[in-house]
Amino acid sequence: MITMTFMLKSFAVENIKIVTDGGQPISEKELSKWQYTIYPDGRNLPEGEGTALQGKAIYNAQCMACHGESGNNGIGPRLVGKQGYQNNSKNVLMTMSVGAWPHATTIFDYIRRAMPHYAPKSLTDEQVYALTAYILNLNGLIAKDEKLDNVALSKIQMPNESIAINMWEQEVNTQK
C-alpha cells in the first residue's frame, strides 16, 4: 500500500502540470474572522445581543428554505426537538436537532461559522445572537422576548448537557 501511494504521488508529480496563479494572500482582517473558537463556557463570545422576535425574520429569510417553517420539516437537519432524534430515522446527522447539542454556545459558534450554507460568515454577530435565540425559543428553552448576549447565552442549560462529555473541560483540567 505504501509503495502504491508513493507511485501515485510520483505519477501525479511527473505527468500532470498544475497551473495556478497562487490566488490572493489572505488579509489579516479576513483571517481574524476565522481565528477564534467559542468555548462551551462562553469564552470568546463577541459583544452583541438579539431576541427570538428579531431572529424570526432572519430565520424566515435565511434558514426556512432548508429547515422548514417550524425548524423540523425542511430538507436540512432538524433544529427543533427535545431529545434530538426523530423516530424511525436511520440518518443520525440529518435527525440530530438542537436538543442533542450539549451547549447553547456551540449553536452560536456553528451558525456564525457555517450558516447560511450558501454564504457562511455573512451574518453579523447581532444576527447570530437573534437566530440562536429564535432556535432556542423554538425548542422552548427561552422566551421569545428574552435578550440573548454573551452572558445570557453561556448560562443556558441544554436538555442533553448532563449526558454529554465536555472534552474542553477535560483538556483544561489536564493542563493544570
How far is Cα 75 from Cα 115, in angstroms, rounded to an integer? 15
Which position has the higher pLDDT, 76 or 153? Answer: 153
- Residue-wise pLDDT for 5-48, tens only, equals 333 344 444 566 667 777 888 888 877 777 778 988 999 999 99
Alpha carbon 98 to chain centroid, angstroms: 10
- Number of residues that make up the chain: 176
- The pTM score is 0.75
| Bridge partners (DSSP) listed for residue 49 | 149
What the block records as the C-alpha cell of 172 is 483544561
* Mean pLDDT, rounded, for 76-102: 68
- Which residues are bridge partners to 103 per DSSP? 157
Q: In the beta sheet, which residues pair with residue 159?
A: none
Q: Is the pLDDT of residue 104 over 90?
A: yes
Choose from 78-87, 100-109, 131-140 the range with maximum mean pLDDT.
131-140
SS3 158: coil
